[in-house]
Structure 1
Amino acid sequence: MSGVFLLVGLCLGAIAAMLLFPSSRPEPASVAVAASGATAMTVEEEPVDSPKPSASAAPGSPASSKSADPGKPPSTVDVPALAELVPDGQVSVVVYDRTAKKNTVSLKAERSYTSASLVKLLIALEALQAGTPSATVQRMLSVSDDDIASSLWTAHGGPAIVTRWAAKIGLGGTRPPEDPGRWGDTRITAADIAKIYRYLLEQAGAGTRATILRALSGATENGSDGIRQYFGIPDGVGDLPWSIKQGWACCRGSRILHSSGVVGKDDRYIVVVLTSQPSSTTYTGAGKRVTAVAKALLPALDPD
């Protein structure tokens, strides 16, 4: 009889266990495991919908200045991270807010670069002062015509153009080219290019300002040599109005791509992005990097 009672007891115990822990119910998130003589241990299940935070998003890292919502643009410009957008190369950036009257972004602003076609801004100022027809200057700027630039460079003193305007505007890092015939080898800095735009917008005569800005706002998608010149500012700033002067050159050790101009209503922002990239990089690939830098500057171009 004791065997019968034992069997009944085991059956009742099994039924009670099934009622307390039915197989269709998930186990609790914390499961206590205990055994005779063993220490109890608690195992915490990791929430499925809570991804681990990235180490790069730690406070004080560049990513920490970005919006927490990946669908929204960052609220501020992550200046140190701009350099990462031009791998194996160099980049300098200036954003000057003419309303606030200060630089709101500055990265390696005094670093020296080959000017490529950005020196045409100084050639244009000199040529207009000397009475060159506006249409000639506008074509040189809007399609970045090298033949016109060479003609005006020779006619108005070559390297002396750079020397005169550097002294007049106060361009501390701008130097004429070592080879007097190679105007594109003029040395420039981002800080100095921003000063040229400030002079144009704030000090130049009304006729000179109108002529040059008309050319820069009407810049064609392709330059006279067939290179696409809408990289950087045009591709990067969306619907904001712009007036640009671009520069590109290759391949004496590096590929040069620069994007400069004024952006926003009433030409509020002066934007300068200078880059020197490996000569193995294509113009298209290098241009995409300059555009990535310009896009990253959008928070600084928001008047709100």
Structure 2
Amino acid sequence: MAATVLGLTGAPPATAAPATSAPARATQAEVPAGVTAGVAVFDRTTGTFTERLNETMRFRSASVVKLLIALDYLRTRDPRTLSAADRTRLDSMLRSSDDNAAGYYWDLGGRRAIIDRTVAQLGLTDTANPPAGYEGYWGYVALSAADTVRIYRYILDTASAPVRDYVMGNLRQSTRCGTDGFDQQFGIAGSFERPRTVKQGWSGFGSSGGCTPKPPTTVPAAAERRSAPAQRSAAPRAAAGVDLTREALHTTGTVGAGDRTIVAVFTLHPDGTPYGTAYTAVNRLTRSLDVPGAARPSGTWFGTWGSGVNVRPRPTTVDSAPLTMLPAGVEVLVSCQKLGQEVTIPPYTNAWWAYLPQYGGYITNIYISSPGNQLPGVPVCSS
């Protein structure tokens, strides 16, 4: 079978209490080389932080700011009485990180006024508006891991029940793919089993996010705003100490029964880092954290190579339409493997397929970075 059938390119690489101070100990956070990270993990049961690393450092928020945009719009509205159009836009913004919906509400709420209001209402200390001249770019709002914990604590412990239930209910239904075609299954979503909620953020990675883009929510053209300028040369490199150009990938949300633990991980990556590489780095960092109440998925992590790697419901390309695609070069969790259709991508031929529980499907073992056709230490699927 030709490589174009699977759409693959590339070559294999070488093998609810008040917060108190955390106990005096070294953080467990394992930050990959070259990555700049800000981390805060707050256990709502004990009222303590279990992880704090550069927690007040400001990062450009990317799509994490959509939490504040939503809260500001709902400040004077009951989610139960929203119009169908509002519900569609807000659902898409919170679940699928819809940029057009964010642009619509950003303009509607007065842009910088949204941040002024939410900073005052939530008691945020590190959050700041986009730099002068870039007021239209909501993704340039500065956030810290510590302020993100405050945002979730406000939603869970202070906001009205209808607002809390609406926002958290949408975050529980986070989609695998954003409306811009980027895979959102990293960080919290890739490291912990449900129950969990997720609001992710990404910026600076171009257009290779793994998924096939979905049609965007329809909004007036004048309301559309990008999270960052289309050309890097058009943007300042930094503003008020916030890096605006390096690739940014953030994972935030809650983990465990009753939203026990709030997790906020903000990261910056060296210029030119591919999305799959950053995705893997954030997964490794998130998996290293002390997260009370978390259930971790079982399986073995392997690297992959190639781009456009299809995940299919069965170990064959015949009558097995792709469920999604992997970000190029991403690390994946494999729970079992089984014999299926023999695939040939010169110079490789392999009939073994790996099951990826977090994607609910199979990929051919050809594109897993491991010697031999059968993965070592991985059991054969029972069915």
Scaled by the length of structure 2, what TM-score is found? 0.56
Alpha carbons 2:198, 2:252 under 8 Å: kept: yes
Partners of 2:72 and 2:117 within 8 A in 1: no
State the distance in 2 between where 1:100 and 1:154 align. 39
Q: Secondary structure at the match of 1:85?
A: coil
CA contact (8 A) 1:173 1:188 kept: yes
Cα offset for 1:136? Answer: 2.5
**Mapped partners of 1:113, 1:97: distance in 2:** 23
Residue of structure 1 in register with 2:157 after alignment: 202
Offset at 1:287? 0.8
Q: Which runs of 5+ in 1 are unaligned?
A: 1-75
Equivalent residue for 1:191? Answer: 146
Question: Amino acid of the residue matched to residue 141 of structure 1?
Answer: L
Selected match of 1:167 from 117, 120, 138:
120
- Does the aligned pair in 2 maintain the 1:242–1:262 contact within 8 Å? yes
Deviations 1:48-83 (Å, cap 9, x if unpaired)? xxxxxxxxxxxxxxxxxxxxxxxxxxxx9x85563x
Q: Greater helix percent: which structure?
A: 1
Deviation at residue 280 of structure 1 after TM alignment = 1.4
Query: TM-score, with normalisation over the residues of structure 1?
Result: 0.70
Q: SS at the partner of 1:111?
A: coil
**Identical aligned residues as a percent:** 36
Deviation at 1:291, TM superposition (A): 0.7
The CA distance in 1 between the partners of 2:199 and 2:176, in whole Å, is: 12
CA distance in 2, matches of 1:113, 1:283: 18
After TM superposition, give the deviation of residue 299 of structure 1 in Å: 5.4
1:114-162 CA distance string (max 9 Å, x none)? 0000100000001122435334212111000000000000001111101
C-alpha separation between the residues in 1 aligned to 2:291 and 2:148?
21
**Aligned partner letter, 2:53:** L
* 5+ residue gaps, structure 2: 1-22, 206-231, 233-244, 296-383
Aligned residue in 1 for 2:183: 228
C-alpha contact 1:79 1:107 (8 A) present in aligned 2: no
Q: How does 1:1-304 map to 2 (within 5 A)?
A: 79-80=26-27, 82=29, 84-131=30-77, 133-178=86-131, 179-237=134-192, 239-250=193-204, 252=232, 253-298=245-290, 300-301=292-293
CA distance in 2, matches of 1:261, 1:273: 9
Greater displacement, 293-302 / 144-153: 293-302
> Normalized per residue, which structure has more strand?
2
Aligned residues: 225
Deviations 1:152-181, CA, capped at 9 Å, x for gaps: 000011111011111111111000101110
Task: Return closer, same or farther for 1:80/1:298 CA change in 2, 3 Å cut-off.
Answer: closer
CA distance in 1, matches of 2:46, 2:88: 34
User: How far is 1:297 from its partner?
Assistant: 1.5
Conserved? CA contact 1:95–1:104, under 8 Å:
yes
Superposed CA offset, 1:250-296 (max 9, x none): 06530000000010001000000000111211111101111111111
Tell me the distance in 1 between the aligned counterparts of 2:93 and 2:291.
Answer: 32
Q: Is the 8 Å Cα contact of residues 27 and 52 (structure 2) preserved in structure 1?
A: no
Answer with 1 or 2: which has the greater Rg. Answer: 1
